[in-house]
Amino acid sequence: MTTVHLGMPLVRAPRGVGMLREQEPFPAAARRALADPQLRANIRRATGTIRDKRQRMVDEVPDWEQLRDAGSALKAATMARLPELLVQLEEQVTARGGTVHWARDAHEANRIVTSLVQATGADEVVKVKSMATVEIGLNQALEAAGIAAWETDLAELIVQLGRDRPSHILVPAIHRNRAEIREIFRREMPGLGTEVPADLSDVPAELAALSRRHLRAKFLSARVAVSGANFAVAETGTLAVVESEGNGRMCLTLPQTLITVMGIEKLVPTWRDLEVFLQLLPRSSTGERMNPYTSTWTGVTPGDGPQELHLVLLDNGRSATLADEVGRSALHCIRCSACLNVCPVYERTGGHAYGSVYPGPIGAVLSPQLTGVQDNASLPYASSLCGACFDACPVKIDIPRLLVELRAQHVEARAEEHPVPSAEAVAMAAAAWTMARSKRWVRAQRASRIGRLLARRSGRLPALPFPLARWTSSRELPVPPEETFRDWWARERG
Amino acid sequence: MRIALLVTCLVDTLYPDVGRATVTLLERLGHEVVFPDRQTCCGQMHVNSGYQRDALPLVRHHVEVFEPYDVVVAPSGSCVGSVRHQHAMVARRAGDDRLAARAEAVAGRIYELSELLVDVLGVEDVGAAYPHRVTYHPTCHSLRLLRVGDKLLRLLRHVRGLDLVELPEADQCCGFGGTFALKNADTSTAMLADKMRHVLSTGAEACTAGDSSCLMHIGGGLARLRSGTRTVHLAEILAATEQPA
């Protein structure tokens, strides 16, 4: 395996902080989700709706495939010279009055942001929806330091008030329906000083109006905002956030201090490159031609907007991912969530089963790479390799190929760590040995016809022992025929 | 044309009728079919389960067995997909660039059955007759790895007496996915349940596809339901005629 070393130690995302690791293996977590019909119905309805919208918006762009190629090529070119582009970004941000901080991992990033907030004397911050800050567990870190972090994206707010975890990249509360949301608001809002009407219904407009009242107070009082960034332009040091609700723009303009936490892969070399991504992202993500709000900010401007600007550049496993020849393309991801919405596995299990802030197909490749594959060992297998994700990806990340590669890395890492091979490894080695010579294979085929004896009475195979029981619990197995193809051929044509 | 048959290990062992149908069909169309009997398995299960090192001897064996042939056919989109997209990758990952180049050459000469018929042999009407109500599941690897498009449908539309009914949400995965069906049995079963619901909603007597593995999954589920709806491989439909065999 060829790896590229960037002259820095390969840091993986640390344990015990943030939200990148599965708490239990995917199959077990998925089983619980599958047993919840309400959850399945909520997710199915939501992904189905977004999927259809996305398809309509994609279909009306005549050069969609060229756009995807352009997005993919731009990302590959960016990754190829990421270190120098990051330095350029730092120079530009600094030249325009901002301060750049480098965080190797979640602990460092949390320490940096906490101390920046503490330096302002504020005890609360408003937040723009940000995957990176969920990844590192920033809200928990701030809370431990006595700082309240208020999510201002509606879905993120629902997740926060529900003491829940996000379950989708774009729609973190996708697993909740409006009746559940009403209950969360009724329970939590009064404690936050927002009066809840006694007759609050579950009509979306009413729920939105209530959250607007709650949020407006926060926008007007907060002195510090924390955001992520969808893009950073290296040539000018410009940061960009795209959003739908306008809450982001409030956070990015009203407070005195703005702290942006951004994964180091979010970079584009030039302004011009945004033309590609600002077409790809909204259509893939929300199924819109254009997102309602695109905010860009470059340094600080006296008398206008935040007067103090900090950019925290987060590694947390990204440089290690970049060093992997095959896996690095996972860093091309622009977090649109199109792969989630077309994934048959995600549609049935929802996002929590993936145990990470990054669920779905992209999460199944990104999370194990950020943490090291042994820490998210079941995720690369949480796919039937149907390939729908690859087709939907606006930057053409070959997710099935990455899954196959990560599975190989996992199997090899396990073999190195454990001198005793797993039962599966023994079976696979035996099968490979058998199949590497046709004589052995023919003998094995004859032995497999033992199944005919088992099926003699009923014409069906009985329930089989583990691991085949996982098949026979819900499906019949075919009874091996009397004669294999090769025996027939030898008899008829040989 | 002289065509070598990669029968696939699943068809060889469990669905020999599919292999026989492939031979019958190609011979009826006037071609010579050869069966290189040293063949075993393409190694897809190993590759997709992470055992790429174990797959290496299988790739080498496959290359050695099929290198002498100009045209190879397999009645399986996923096995052709594996040969076409994985064999060189396995060899290259193991550092064997020479084997990778040979694997690429072999991969360039292998076709899934509908590709061979439509693209290579230039035939859509194979003279088949199959008077049944049938629905068609385009398997994921045929659809997305091989991009067979509507080739199987075009072949089916020319079959006499065949009443082709559209499968709702046809391009959704049936949930097989090789060892996925065992490792994530619950999710796999949930995906299968929806696929079966759609198949049964068509009122078809049979569900067809170009992959025995997906058909084993769908058929295994339908049999458990005692639904009476069968699965039948594309090759078996195309091999069927009005004349008694």
Per residue in B90-146, pLDDT (tens digit) is 999 999 999 999 999 999 999 999 999 999 999 999 999 999 999 999 999 999 999
Rg (CA), chain B: 18
pTM of the model: 0.95
Strand, coil or helix: what is A314? strand
List, for residues A380-394, the tens digit of each pLDDT value. 999 999 999 999 999
Give start and end residues of each alpha helix (H) in A315-387.
Answer: 318-322, 338-342, 344-349, 360-371
Element spanning B206, H or E: strand B206-209
pLDDT digits (tens, 9 = 90+) for B206-235: 999 999 999 999 999 999 999 999 999 999
Contacts of A416 in chain B (CB under 8 A): none
Q: How far is the CA of A483 from the CAs of A479, A488, B15, B17, B82, in angstroms? A: 12, 6, 10, 10, 26
With H, G, I as helix, E, B as strand and everything else as coil, classify residue B111: strand
- A471, B224: Cβ pair inside 8 Å? no
ipTM: 0.96
Q: In sequence order, which residues have a C-beta less than 8 Å from that of residue A400 and are 6 or more positions away?
A: A383, A385, A386, A387, A389, A390
The answer to whether B243 and B218 have CB atoms below 8 angstroms apart is no
pLDDT tens digit string along A145-171? 999 999 999 999 999 999 998 899 988
Question: Tens of pLDDT along B63-95?
Answer: 999 999 999 999 999 999 999 999 999 999 999
Mutate to test the interface with B, among A31, A435, A452 (most CBs of B within 10 A): A435
CB A180 within 8 A of CB A161: no
Tens of pLDDT, residue by residue over A225-253, are 999 999 999 999 999 999 999 999 999 99
Of the candidates A349, A424, A431, which has its C-beta nearest B187's C-beta?
A349
For residues A17 and A107, the answer to whether their CB atoms sit within 8 Å is: yes
Q: What is the pLDDT of residue A1?
A: 44
Q: Is the pLDDT of residue B244 over 90?
A: no
Beta carbons of B184 and A407 less than 8 Å apart: no
Q: How confident is the model at residue A2 (pLDDT cuts 50, 70, 90)?
A: very low
CB contact under 8 A, A436 and B61: yes
Gap from A318 CA to chain B (nearest CA, Å): 23
Which residues of chain A lie closer than 8 angstroms to B192, CB-CB? 474-475
A366 touches A190 (CB < 8 A): no
Average pLDDT, chain A: 93
Peptide bond into A480 cis (omega under 30): no
CA A33/CA A26 separation, integer angstroms: 10
Residue with tokens 């509507």: B150
Helices (H), A127-190: 131-135, 138-144, 154-161, 178-188
**A445 touching chain B per CB within 8 A:** yes
Query: Mind telling me how many Å the CA of A102 is from chain B's nearest CA?
Result: 34
- pLDDT of A188 > 90? The answer is yes
What SS3 state is found at A140?
helix
d(CA A48, CA A431): 40
Please tell me the predicted confidence (pLDDT) of residue A6.
55
Q: Is residue A5 scored above 70 in pLDDT?
A: no
Alpha-carbon torsion A10, A11, A15, A20, what sign?
Answer: negative
Residue of B176, B184, B211 best to disrupt the A interface, most CBs of A under 10 A: B184
Cβ of A484 and B49 within 8 Å?
no
Mean pLDDT within A415-432: 90
Other Cβ atoms less than 10 A from the Cβ of B201: the count is 12
Q: Is A480 on the interface with B (CB under 8 A)?
A: yes
What is the pLDDT, as a whole number, of residue A133?
97
Comparing CB atoms, the residue among B16, B178, B187 nearest residue A488 is B16
